[in-house]
Structure 1
């Protein structure tokens, strides 16, 4: 049964201003920002179910914070004190630590450490550490991100994801890319094997013995791989790999290749060859969107399971070792199942763009 329609939560001007600030200010702790959004949405009316769906929380969560606000107003949105030793650090001092962490930097340093924050606030390092853990703050950590600026981003996402979720009949969908500059690396000392209480160990320094490039076409249906090593990475090698694919796949099947925008994929020679082989259909991922190409997931398997902890004394030895690994993979291939629809991907990116845009205010 749907939840009954509840009376509006009536906000004073001051309460609305405070809640709006908590919800929009990017420096606010995310738990408090979420509670503020719940109350603001309740003030617009509607059932608990509708409010929960709009905010993206469970009905129990929406009901809990609505009730807390109705009974205790703004104070009710703070976490309740837990049993135990009374706190000796006041809310004002905690707020000062959080504000300095989020809005200031220590002199010429790029970020705070527990030691520098303790010195600046007159608190202990353990107290700073506890506060940061409680509010999910990690000044030492940094993550990278990049958004595609491809003007055809939406169309390309729909095209590629559509191939993954609904492959054409009488056709093979291959995710194609090159793992370039694979280095034949030999450690300066033998790798020591794993022992009880001791992991495998290898030296941090190594000797380079040359590079090779692995061209790979990952069949999204079966998980098998067509692959070949080339010492160079030009359109000539890409053409040779296309001819290898053409020879390996039965002639009665159309070929849909998902690949990136690398220049070697679009040279006049490649285009001329494709015109003469109409069963080949190329689908390009958006720029800066390698995550959309499933062969990258297979390259990660190759790196983690073979390359990262191997040693090779020559390029030939590296190529032979990788070929053996690929043959073993193809003996028992495992496809990667794509689950997200294009709409889900685009909705997630739209929400992220909205979030980083709001953070500027």
Structure 2
């Protein structure tokens, strides 16, 4: 629910992200969508009955909880590239590590990486200075440009589309441990990258002004 007093902030951030999505591709200034989620790990208490002709595999309804792992996703929609990292936690420290990897490992030749993400409290520029020497924090921040989706507007982050595909095609089942989770996610990522599965985003700021006009402040004729 978007409060009336928050509508101007919402549409400002929304139009910023929508304009960014419709800029021409620039390999020196890539647009990367970033998001995070988690996966509960469930071990089987009893061995499942294997599949056989005419019958699918059957699993017991009971299971043993085996912790939770965080999933970071990076996605460049215009090129069909994505990367998923499995971590134990998702603190500011892990966020900074992901941004460092984005700059140094994935886009070392980029002049500026435009990162679309939500307003999670760990997504802070000052976190770089909390966990890195000042010169290193400044080096990374000079190559990163953050674009935040509005509150209640996570649908504007195309990384959510990647997460939806990941859950449907890979994680919609019990995963017993972190090693299996990493292996399954890596296999899914490799296949999807080989297919160069792009995201064709059509919704524009002009569309928003028509279809979401009720969200815009009524402050002029």
Q: Deviations over 1:64-87 (max 9, x none)?
A: xxxxxxxxxxxxxxxxxxxxxxxx
SS at match of 2:108: coil
1:164 equivalent in structure 2: 21
Mapped to 2, the partners of 1:184 and 1:303 lie a distance apart of: 14
CA-based RMSD of the aligned residues comes to 2.5
Q: Output aligned runs, 1:92-103, within 5 Å.
A: none
1:275–1:154 CA distance, 2 compared to 1 (3 A): farther
Mapped to 2, the partners of 1:167 and 1:270 lie a distance apart of: 30
1:216 equivalent in structure 2: 73
1:295 aligns with 2:152: no
1:306 aligns with 2:170: yes
Mapped to 2, the partners of 1:253 and 1:220 lie a distance apart of: 18
Q: Relative to total residues, which structure has the larger helix share, 1 or 2? A: 1
- Count of aligned pairs between the two proteins: 205
Deviation, structure 1 residue 187: 3.9
Match of 2:189 among 326, 329, 337: 326
1:347–1:195 CA distance, 2 compared to 1 (3 A): farther
Match of 1:262 among 120, 123, 127: 120
Deviation, structure 1 residue 349: 2.2
Deviation, structure 1 residue 201: 4.4
Q: Give the gaps of 5 or more residues in structure 1.
A: 1-145, 354-361
Q: Output aligned runs, 1:211-290, within 5 Å.
A: 211-247=68-104, 248-266=106-124, 268-270=126-128, 275-277=138-140, 278-290=142-154
1:105 equivalent in structure 2: none
Mapped to 2, the partners of 1:297 and 1:263 lie a distance apart of: 22
Q: Output aligned runs, 1:317-356, within 5 Å.
A: 317-350=180-213
Mapped to 2, the partners of 1:234 and 1:276 lie a distance apart of: 21
Mapped to 1, the partners of 2:143 and 2:183 lie a distance apart of: 32
Deviation, structure 1 residue 252: 3.6
Q: Deviations over 1:230-275 (max 9, x none)?
A: 1111000001111111112132442000000001001522377664
1:348–1:201 CA distance, 2 compared to 1 (3 A): farther
Mapped to 1, the partners of 2:158 and 2:169 lie a distance apart of: 17
Q: Which of structures 1 and 2 has the larger relative contact order (alpha carbons within 8 angstroms, sep 6+)? A: 2
Runs (4 or more) in structure 1 with deviation over 4 Å come to 198-201, 271-274
Q: Indicate conservation of the 8 Å contact 1:209/1:313, yes or no.
A: yes
Deviation, structure 1 residue 284: 0.2
Mapped to 2, the partners of 1:172 and 1:194 lie a distance apart of: 48
Q: Indicate conservation of the 8 Å contact 2:7/2:215, yes or no.
A: no
Deviation, structure 1 residue 303: 0.5
1:267–1:246 CA distance, 2 compared to 1 (3 A): closer
1:154 equivalent in structure 2: 11
Q: Deviations over 1:101-158 (max 9, x none)?
A: xxxxxxxxxxxxxxxxxxxxxxxxxxxxxxxxxxxxxxxxxxxxx4474641111111
